[in-house]
Amino acid sequence: MNEQINEQELLAVLAAESKADPQQIRLVLKHEQDFLNKAKADSKGDVDIDMDDLLDYITGRRDVKLDELTVETILEAEMDYLMDKGLAGYID
């Protein structure tokens, strides 16, 4: 995780939003990072991620026991958190 991100704070926010088990949230974040690491950046260094592809990738992992709606809630809450911290944004 990025040094600017307080992992405990992030997990608390995501657990409060999603009502999911923190262990499952960690798995979602781990698989999300794996997916992002494989994504190709454009010439500006930005990575355009299709949310449906990401959801399919994460929910397709055998160790993730959460439904698609919960995973989506976790990912959206994480994005909100990162945007609030100025660490992420959407590409127009």
Tens digit of pLDDT at every position of the chain (92 positions):
444 678 899 999 999 999 999 999 999 999 999 998 888 877 787 777 889 999 999 999 999 999 999 999 999 999 999 888 887 666 55
Token digits of residue 89: 């944004």
pTM, two decimals, is: 0.83
- Residues with Cβ within 8 Å of 68's Cβ and at least 6 positions away in sequence, in order, are 55, 59
Please give the pLDDT value at position 53. 94
Tokens of 34: 């794996």
pLDDT at residue 28 in the model: 97
Looking at residue 33, what is its pLDDT? 94
